[in-house]
Copies of this chain bind each other. A is one copy, B any other.
Amino acid sequence: MAPKITAKPPKGTRDIAPHAMAVRERAFSLITQVFRAHGAVAIDTPVFELRDVLQNKYGEDSKLIYHLSDDMSSETGEKLSLRYDLSVPFARYLASNNVSQIKRYHIGKVYRRDRPAMERGRFREFYQCDFDIAGAYPAMIPDAEVLVVMMQMFDTLAAQSESHQRLIGSYEIKISHRVILDAVLTVCGVPEDKLRTICSAVDKLDKMHWRDVRKEMVVEKGLQEEVADRIERFVSMRGTGPEVLHMLRQERELVDMCVDALNEMEKLFRLVACMREGMKNRLVFDMSLARGLDYYTGVIFEAVLVDKTVNLGSIGAGGRYDGLVGMFRRSGVPCVGCSLGIERIMNLMVKAAEEQGGGKIRATATDVLVATIGKGTMEERLRLCAELWRRGVAAEFCFNENWNVGKQVQQAVSGGVPLVAVVGEDELRDGVVKLKVLATKEERVVDRGGIAAAIDEELTKANESG
C-alpha cells in the first residue's frame, strides 16, 4: 500500500462540518438581511493584497501578516500578503475605485499568524463580517446608524429562540471617543509622545486590574506615578451617556480641550435613542475603552456579553477612522464601521441551535424522502423525485436499489427528513402516492398530481405544531 499523505488542515485552521455550516449560513443570511434593510450594498476584494497596502496599518500586529512566497511574484514583481482584516482592503477599494460615498457590507475570510486558541475561538483563518459607511456627512449621523445596525444584528440573532436569547441577548456596547481619551490623558499629564503607548495600556483594563495596568504605565512605559494616579479617576467613569457626560463636563480644563467631541457624544446618544425608542438602548459610555488599532480617530466601541458565565470577550467592535483612505489617495474619505466577532458568535449560535434541537442540528433542508417498494423500482424513485424538484420541493432518494421500505425510511429518520413519499405497484397503478409524516406516524394517500401541495400542507402543519 502506498504511503499516505498526512491529511489534516493546517495549524490554526479547521474544516467546518455540515451541521455547523447550516448554522453559519443561517446566521450570515440573518445578518445580511439587517445590512440590506439599511440599504447597504456588498463588495468583494481579493484575499491577498499588495504587501505595501497592508503594511504599517496594524501597529505591533503587523508581524502577524501572512506573506506569499516572493518566488511567486518574480514575473510580475509584485509582493503579496494575505489580508489581515477587511477594513484596510475597504480603504484600498475606495481609493482604487475612486469611491467617496458608500454604505457597504463585506463577509469574508481574513488571516492572522497568531498563536491559535481554537477552543476560545482564536483561529489563523476566520471570517469577518463588516459594515461601514464612507462619506463626508454631518457629525455622528452615520456613526449612530452603525451602532443601531450592530444592536439590530445581535437582537435578530438572539430572537431565534429562547436559547439564543439567553446566550446572545445579554450584550452591551461600550462606547468612548479617541479625542476625549487623548484629551483626558493630556490633562492628566501624559506627554504627547507617550499618548499611543499609554492608550494601549488603558486598552488592557478589560482583562487586567488597574494596579497591573498602572505598573505597566509606570515601570515599563516610564510614566510618572502621579500622572498614572490621575488617569485612574477618569478611566473608572462608566454609565449612561448623560451620566458620564455630566461627570466629564465638570472638568474645566478637559472641556476646553475637547468641547466638540463632548458635544458629538451628546448628539450620538440622542440620535441612537431616537432609533431605539421602546427598546433597550444597551449603550454604556465607558472611559476605560481604548481600542488597540492606531487608525481610529473618533467614536470607538466594543460589544461584550454581560453574562459572565459566557467568558468570551469582545463579540464585535468598531469606530470612526477618518485617516485610513488618505493613505491610499490624495483626498481622504471619512469612514465609520463595525466588525462582528463572527467566530465567537458562531460558537454561541451552534450551542443555541443544539439546545433548541435537543442536541441535534439538521444539516439538510430536505422536505421529503422518496421511497419505492419492490425490486427494479429505482427509475420510479427518480421520476417522482424529479416531479417534486420541478415543483420546488426538496426531495432525496436512497441510492441503494435493493433496500426495502424500512431501510429507506430509516435514512429519512437519521437525516431528520420530516416526510416520506412511498410508491409501490398499487400506488403506481392507481396514480397515487402514500405520504407518511414521521413525527406523528400519520399516513395519507394523495393523488400524484397533488403531491407537492400535500407536502406543503404537512410541512406547514409540522412547523405550526413544532
What is the bound-complex CA distance between A378 and B365, given in angstroms?
44
Chain B residues with CB below 8 A from A68, complex form: 66-69, 82
A365 to chain B, nearest CB (A): 4
Residue A95, interface by CB 8 Å? yes
Is A195 in contact with chain B by the CB < 8 A criterion? no
Are A10 and B385 neighbours in the complex by a CB distance under 8 Å? no
Cβ B11 vs Cβ A399 within 8 A: no
Q: Is the CB of B8 within 8 A of A276?
A: no
User: Which interface residue of A11, A330, A395 has the most chain B CB atoms within 10 A?
Assistant: A11
Select the stretch in A135-143, A236-244, A304-312, A438-446 that faces chain B. Answer: A135-143
Q: Is A462 among interface residues, defined by CB-CB distance under 8 A?
A: no
Q: Report the bound CA distance from A143 to B415 in whole Å.
A: 21
B36→A364 contact, CB < 8 A: yes
Q: With A17-B43, A67-B72, A329-B7 given, is the CB distance from A389 to B37 under 8 Å?
A: yes
List of B residues within 8 angstroms of A214 by Cβ: none
Q: Which of A102, A366, A395 has the most CB of B within 10 A?
A: A366
Say yes or no: is A25 at the interface (Cβ < 8 Å to chain B). Answer: yes
Q: Quick check: is A436 within 8 A (CB to CB) of the other chain? A: no
Are A394 and B141 in contact (CB-based, < 8 A)? no
Complex contact A78–B41 (CB within 8 A): no
Copies of this chain held together in the complex: 2
Name which of A44-52, A170-178, A349-357 contacts chain B.
Answer: A44-52
Q: Which of B15, B72, B328, B330 contacts A97 (CB 8 A)?
A: B15
B327 x A4 contact (CB < 8 A):
yes
- Cβ-defined contact, B45 with A275, below 8 A: no
Partner of A46, one of B14, B50, B141: B14
A78's partner among B10, B49, B327, B379 (CB-CB below 8 A) is B10
- Residue from A16, A21, A69 whose CB has the most chain B CB atoms within 10 Å: A69
Which of B40, B138, B379 lies in contact with A271, CB distance below 8 A?
B379
Please state if A394 and B39 are interface contacts (CB–CB under 8 Å).
yes
Q: Is the CB of A379 within 8 A of B93?
A: no
Nearest residue in B to A149 (C-beta to C-beta)? B389
> A382 on the interface (CB 8 Å rule)?
yes
Evaluate whether A5 and B53 lie within 8 angstroms (CB atoms) in the complex, with A277-B386, A394-B37 already known.
Answer: yes
CB distance from A456 to the nearest CB of B (A): 14
Interface string of A63-87 (1 = CB under 8 A from B): 0001111111000101010100000
Asked if A67 contacts B76 (CB within 8 A), the reply is: no
* Docked complex: A378-414 residues within 8 A CB-CB of B: 378-379, 382-383, 385-386, 389, 392-396, 399-401
Residues of the B chain whose Cβ atoms lie less than 8 Å from the Cβ of A366: 36, 39
Q: Judging by beta carbons under 8 Å apart, are A7 and B92 in contact?
A: yes
A363 and B99 CA atoms in complex are apart in Å by 15
Q: Which residue on chain B has the smallest CB distance to residue A78?
A: B10
Per-position 1/0 for A18-44, Cβ under 8 A of B = 100110110000000000111111111
Q: How far is the CB of A36 from chain B (nearest CB, A)?
A: 4
Contact B46 A396 (CB under 8 A): no
Q: Does A13 contact B (CB under 8 A)?
A: yes
8 contacts between A and B (CB under 8 A): A7-B328, A15-B44, A21-B41, A37-B393, A39-B366, A39-B396, A68-B68, A275-B383
A-B contact sample (13 more), CB < 8 A, given A5-B327, A39-B366: A1-B330, A7-B329, A9-B46, A25-B42, A36-B394, A37-B393, A41-B363, A68-B69, A142-B399, A148-B386, A152-B389, A270-B379, A277-B383
